[in-house]
Amino acid sequence: MSQSKHAVELCALLVDETYGELTSRIFTILLRRGRLTIPLLSKHTRLNPHKIRHGLAVLVQENLVYHYFDEDTNTTHYEANPEAAYMLVRSGKIVEIARSRYGDLAAEIMGNLFLSGHSTVKELVSWYVARLAEAEAKRKREERLANGLNGQSKAPTLVQAPAHPFPTGQMHGMLTELLESGLIQPLFGDMFLSPTDTYDKIAKETLKEEYGGNIKGTKQKEELKEKIRERLYALRSERAWKSKGKKRALNGNHANGVNGASKRRRLSNGAVNGDHYFEDDGTKLDPNMLVRINYEKCTVVLRNSRLAGLASSRIGSTTAQVYEAGLRLIEKSISRCRLDPRIDDIKDLPDGSTFTTMELTATLSKSVKTGAGIGTVSSDKIDTRKLEKARKSTKRSDEAEAEGEASEDEDVLMEDIPIANGNGNISDLDPDSDSHGDDPFDDENTRTKSSRRAKVTFQDQLPKPEAAENRENRMLQVKNHLLLLAGDDCHFLRKCGSRGLGEWTVDFEGMTQYLQEVEMDTMLLENFGKVGHRLARMMRKLGKLDEKQLPNLALVKQKDARTKLAEMQMAGVVDIQEVPRDSGRTTSRTIFLWYFDVERVSTILLDSIYKNMSRCFQRLDIERRRVQDVLALTERTDLLDEQPEKYMDQEQLNTLHEIEDKEESILGHIGRLDELVAIFRDY
């Protein structure tokens, strides 16, 4: 993360918003000054060492600060972790993803880990059991109040057992699922070291063990780098979660379920038979194992969600559901969005993670109607020019494959079935038809048939109605959706093999570059108009251009072009390079080359986004201070379980609703800005 002024300010505001002023003050000094010891921290913050230690304890617990003990000097150095601080912005998105995939319990676990930083399995189980007991006690109190027994019964209030029969087993099962999905990860002691300290430690050990402390020549230096890379890769592999859970043995009395509980079918949304309780399958984790949120894996999940949304807006919802299911398949083998050049070797996986059409069809939810959102018409009514290039490249790649891998059905589908993309490449239907207002991509089984209407079918002639959709037909429909994704201008997918009716991969780097160009074009159009947008796109595509060529290429007057270029240069978007033709360096004998630096513009845009987000948090704090009296009422412990209508008058209620609307608006704007940060920095 860039350590610019506005980035430091944003991280400090996030820490202050979540953990208070003391931690924010220490964290800001560490961001600005770099790694420091406690005496230096006390000097720069003007706080006594006792308060410094308290603040550092919280920051280390929340994974916001790295610490390294130097054995030579017997001192501990502390260093800020700005990536973890910024991820506090995405806490709501990550919690909602966990809720949509695994249910309310997973969302509560993720929320608890965001607040506590890291916890042991035993602490999470105790927290969950206590929460269930408190909820049950509250329900009993409400029942007594409803029956008119409040204040009349002198019997002591007994805390009832939790509603779920085996909350411990339920919690262990949910934690196992989150660990296997990668949303949370085990925490080891070396994770408290910064990446730089980890690299230096491994390099020092390798140099001492392999070369006796000294190396000579370029060859040994390259060998040392390779051995360090291998050891770092092995260290990261050891940190990855490996299923070590133990299942309790079952006996004859537990034939219908573990611990005597009848088995209940688990639903796809994380609920079991209508509730959010998981079946206790006997999985038991180490109670002393530390777990924390895996931010790198959460970023991968957020990227997949963003790409699925883009596919939905460009092609259609059904194709987007198929695409999202394919991304879920390769998500298991992708641990991070951006590779570490000091550890990862890109040459190991030239095509990245892949999936086949058969694998996707087998895992695709039955609720997805693959017959909707795609169709074909007669070949004379469709523009197939864009597909010819894709077919030729596919044919060349298939010829390179071993003989006999491609099936006969696949060849028929690729060559004989014309595909219409979702952008409207289908020409108008028969003018004599009465299909005005009908969607040509509707499922024909659910559409009212008309004898005079030009049908959109999967053949040139009308097929006979089928009684039920078989597996083979569904597989071909899924492949048609994948072909749509591969043929789109965004190149959502790329075919890399013929195994399993087609093997597919995703070029995430190209997709990220496309998203960056779209957002960059939007910014240029809003700030510099159509002329500036046109000039920037030309320079981005063609490279450095002579000032005399720009007006002719952009079809604008030379005066307008120079004015707009000067305006864009002042904003740092474009720059100029002077190339003299001779040693005189006169203006008439100098070539002025204008160019557009994408990386520089991305950095400027990121810094501007950090500034906007900081201003949003500051504005939110000001708005809350204006109605501090009203918000103080809602934070009272004796009124937490009561509705505001019961203890507020009308004016206070109006003020509360007004501040809630402002909070929703500001936080929504922050979330949209965070999408831009993810596109330009994380994806």
Q: For the purposes of burial, counting CB atoms within 10 Å of the CB of 400, is it exposed (0-12), middle (13-18) or buried (19 or more)?
A: exposed
Report the predicted TM-score, pTM, of the whole model to 2 decimal places: 0.77
Q: For the purposes of burial, counting CB atoms within 10 Å of the CB of 307, is it exposed (0-12), middle (13-18) or buried (19 or more)?
A: buried
pLDDT at residue 249 is higher than 50: no
pLDDT for 267 equals: 43
Confidence of residue 586 (pLDDT cuts 50, 70, 90): confident
Q: Which of 517, 509, 512 is nearest to 351 (CA)?
A: 509
* Strand ranges in 312-397 using DSSP code E only, listed in sequence order: 354-356
The DSSP symbol for 272 reads: B
- Looking at the chain, the whole-number percentage of residues with pLDDT higher than 90 is 40
pLDDT at residue 581 is higher than 50: yes
pLDDT for 394 equals: 56
The helix/strand/coil state of 75 is: strand
pLDDT at residue 519 is higher than 90: yes
- Looking at the chain, the whole-number percentage of residues with pLDDT higher than 70 is 76
Do residues 524 and 532 lie in contact, with contact meaning Cβ atoms separated by under 8 Å? yes
* Strand ranges in 562-621 using DSSP code E only, listed in sequence order: 574-580, 590-596
pLDDT at residue 39 is higher than 80: yes
More confidently predicted of 445 and 646 = 646
DSSP letters spanning 261-303:
PPP-PBPTTS-BTTBSPPP---EE--TT-EEEE-HHHHHHHHH
pLDDT at residue 425 is higher than 60: no
pLDDT for 537 equals: 92
More confidently predicted of 184 and 272 = 184
Point out the least confidently predicted range of 144-153, 432-441, 449-458: 432-441
Could you report the per-residue pLDDT of 318-362, keeping only the tens digit for each?
Answer: 999 999 999 999 988 888 888 888 887 765 445 578 889 999 988
Point out the least confidently predicted range of 151-160, 198-207, 322-331, 351-360: 151-160
Q: For the purposes of burial, counting CB atoms within 10 Å of the CB of 19, is it exposed (0-12), middle (13-18) or buried (19 or more)?
A: buried
Structure tokens, 147: 């029956």
pLDDT at residue 245 is higher than 50: no
Section 371-378 average pLDDT: 66
Phi-psi region of 193 (alpha: psi -120 to 50; beta: other; left: phi over 0): beta
- For residue 606, the tally of other CB atoms under 10 A from its CB is 20
The DSSP symbol for 376 reads: B
pLDDT at residue 152 is higher than 90: no
More confidently predicted of 413 and 225 = 225
Section 51-78 average pLDDT: 92
Q: Taking the CA atoms of the chain, what radius of gyration do you get in angstroms?
A: 31
More confidently predicted of 376 and 54 = 54
Q: What's the whole-number average pLDDT of the chain?
A: 79
The rounded distance, in Å, linking the Cα atoms of 662 and 630 is 15
Could you report the per-residue pLDDT of 459-473, keeping only the tens digit for each?
Answer: 445 544 443 446 778
pLDDT for 382 equals: 54
The alpha carbon of 160 is separated from its chain's Cα centroid by a whole number of angstroms, namely: 40
Angle, alpha carbons 348-353-354 (nearest 5°)? 130
What residues does 494 pair with on adjacent strands?
505
Section 645-652 average pLDDT: 86
Section 11-26 average pLDDT: 92
pLDDT for 391 equals: 60
Section 588-603 average pLDDT: 89
Phi and psi of 149, rounded to 5°?
-100, 5
Do residues 506 and 323 lie in contact, with contact meaning Cβ atoms separated by under 8 Å? no
SS (H, E, C) 658-676: HHHHHHHHHHHHHHHHHHH
pLDDT at residue 131 is higher than 90: no
pLDDT at residue 616 is higher than 90: yes
pLDDT for 286 equals: 87
Structure tokens, 460: 């040139």
More confidently predicted of 471 and 445 = 471
pLDDT for 643 equals: 84
Section 164-186 average pLDDT: 85
Section 602-626 average pLDDT: 94
Identify the top-confidence range among 339-343, 397-401, 516-520.
516-520
Confidence of residue 179 (pLDDT cuts 50, 70, 90): very high
pLDDT at residue 434 is higher than 60: no
Beta strands 184-186; 290-293: pairing state: antiparallel
Point out the least confidently predicted range of 44-58, 93-107, 258-272, 370-384: 258-272
486 contact partners, CB below 8 Å, separation of at least 6: 390, 492, 493, 494, 495, 504
Structure tokens, 179: 């660990």
Confidence of residue 554 (pLDDT cuts 50, 70, 90): confident
The rounded distance, in Å, linking the Cα atoms of 109 and 167 is 14
Matching residue, tokens 């057992």: 161
pLDDT for 440 equals: 42
Do residues 539 and 574 lie in contact, with contact meaning Cβ atoms separated by under 8 Å? yes
More confidently predicted of 66 and 166 = 66
The letter for the amino acid at 349 is: L
More confidently predicted of 298 and 374 = 298
* Strand ranges in 37-111 using DSSP code E only, listed in sequence order: 65-70, 75-80
Do residues 323 and 143 lie in contact, with contact meaning Cβ atoms separated by under 8 Å? no
CA–CA distances in Å: residue 51 to residues 41, 47, 54, 56, 112: 11, 6, 5, 9, 25
Confidence of residue 585 (pLDDT cuts 50, 70, 90): confident
Could you report the per-residue pLDDT of 71-114, keeping only the tens digit for each?
Answer: 888 899 999 999 999 999 999 999 999 999 999 999 999 999 99
